[in-house]
Chains A and B, each alone.
Chain A
Amino acid sequence: QKEVEQNSGPLSVPEGAIASLNCTYSDRGSQSFFWYRQYSGKSPELIMFIYSNGDKEDGRFTAQLNKASQYVSLLIRDSQPSDSATYLCAAGWNSGNTPLVFGKGTRLSVIA
């Protein structure tokens, strides 16, 4: 069974702090990892993806991947109230034919 696990939260952080969102996956064959942001009542939107071990930075967002530990994280620096949303982690197999498996999401609340 291919599973992606996330803490449902809510994770509350003060404005300006670093928010750390975590995700683990069960299938060692997973090759690709995605973070989607979903505002309340809206559809998911892709914000980061990572394929290789290590860190990948894009603006205030950093995705981290540790394949040995089967662990993916998303760091949000200088968190803003506008970052308050549910963050969905997904794992893929880079095959083009096997759909992504999503975690249940972590709700983040940034307190002004």
Chain B
Amino acid sequence: NAGVTQTPKFQVLKTGQSMTLQCAQDMNHNSMYWYRQDPGMGLRLIYYSASEGTTDKGEVPNGYNVSRLNKREFSLRLESAAPSQTSVYFCASSALRSEKLFFGSGTQLSVL
């Protein structure tokens, strides 16, 4: 049982490049989330999707876009990467009416 799968695990970008982080869950969860984690800053919510077909901004959405492709998949896109977006990115999901989050293994992104 894979749970929440994120790809890639590591990525190095140059300033201005674009990329998409992929996330898929196989638990039939309704809600999906993207967080970033920086040293000393805890988990900060970028975007979330409470259900298929909806997306909402979190605490730090600037510079990012998301797509809820279907119930399983929720992608995060950086259109023009900046060094300030160097971080570890976590995708998470939760079941209907549950707040218990299940996290993917994370993506370490460096923007040079």
Chain A residues packing against B (C-beta within 8 Å): 8, 32, 34, 36, 42-46, 49, 88, 92, 94, 96-97, 99-100, 102-105
Chain A residues within an 8 Å CB radius of B97: 96
Q: Write the nearest CB–CB distance from A23 to chain B, whole angstroms.
A: 11
A102 with B42, Cβ < 8 A, contacts A43-B104, A43-B106, A96-B50 known: yes
**Contacts A/B (CB < 8 Å), 14 sampled:** A32-B99, A34-B100, A36-B101, A46-B100, A46-B101, A49-B100, A88-B42, A88-B43, A99-B33, A99-B58, A100-B101, A102-B44, A104-B40, A104-B41
Tell yes or no: B96 within 8 A of A by CB: yes
Chain B residues within an 8 Å CB radius of A94: 99
Chain A residues within an 8 Å CB radius of B45: 99
Interface of B is mostly: loop
Chain B residues packing against A (C-beta within 8 Å): 31, 33, 40-45, 48, 50, 58, 90, 96-106
A44 touching B103 by the CB < 8 A rule? Answer: yes
Instruction: A32-B99, A44-B43, A102-B43 are known; give 4 further A-B pairs, CB within 8 A.
Output: A36-B101, A49-B99, A99-B33, A100-B101
